[in-house]
Amino acid sequence: MDIKTSCLGVLSICDASGYEIRKAFEDGPFSHFAEGGFGSIYPALNKMEADGLVTCTTQAQDKRPAKKVYSITTKGRLALMDALAKDPADDKYKSDFLFSMFFADFQSARRIERLIDDRISQFEKEISHLGDPDNECMGVPKMTEGADFVRRFGLHMHQAAVEFLKEEKFRAVSAALKGESLVNQSSEAAE
């Protein structure tokens, strides 16, 4: 899904500024499967305004910088539905953590332990975030069936990850420890 469609998705729920769209990708209901930085969002909104998919109103705010609030148009909703009708691209999971763990044999047991502990706490943070009933859909309290499905999917996956890491931590650290002692033996033998 390109950044434009992702923005339309957010705007289909409620009007928002670029900054608020960013927050929806960061903390909101899309946080565990979509993303986009300012550098992609603002140009996408400009392009879509020119194409008539969204409209923009500058709102002066009391005690806050002015913001440009975008609304989705009928043409924009049609574009979103068109994108939804296409077969979705394959999911992709990118993980520096797994890349590091792949080379566990070249790293210290201490390092491996920290890597796993950090990842567990990050997953647990996301679990409490997804499980939080106050975590409303951008101020829209009524969650649709679809929104709840993806929320529970994320919850389930993060829980599975924590489960695996807690179960496998001892084995991974032990193996790293064993590797270290082999290194020590060979360096002692070299002396």
Partner DNA sequence: AAGATATATTTCATTTCGATATATTAAAAC
Partner DNA sequence: GTTTTAATATATCGAAATGAAATATATCTT
| 65 vs 186, beta carbon nearer DNA | 65
Select from 14, 31, 40, 155 the one that contacts DNA (CB under 7 A). Answer: 40
DSSP string, 21-90: HHHHHHTSTTTTT----HHHHHHHHHHHHHTTSEEEEEEEETTEEEEEEEEE-HHHHHHHHHHHHSPPPP
Which of DNA, its own copies, none does residue 93 bind to, with CB < 5 to 8 Å depending on kind? Answer: its own copies
Cβ at position 111, least distance to DNA in Å: 22
> Which of 65, 88, 133, 139 forms a contact with DNA (CB under 7 A)?
65
The set of long-range contacts for 150-154, using a CB threshold of 8 Å and a minimum separation of 24, is 150/29, 150/32, 150/33, 151/29, 154/32, 154/33, 154/126, 154/130
Does 102 participate in binding its own copies (rule CB under 8 A)? yes
Tell me if 154 contacts DNA by CB under 7 A: no
Q: Does 6 bind its own copies (CB under 8 A)?
A: yes
Binding interface with DNA (CB under 7 A) = 2-4, 17-20, 22-23, 35-40, 42-44, 46, 61, 63-69, 89
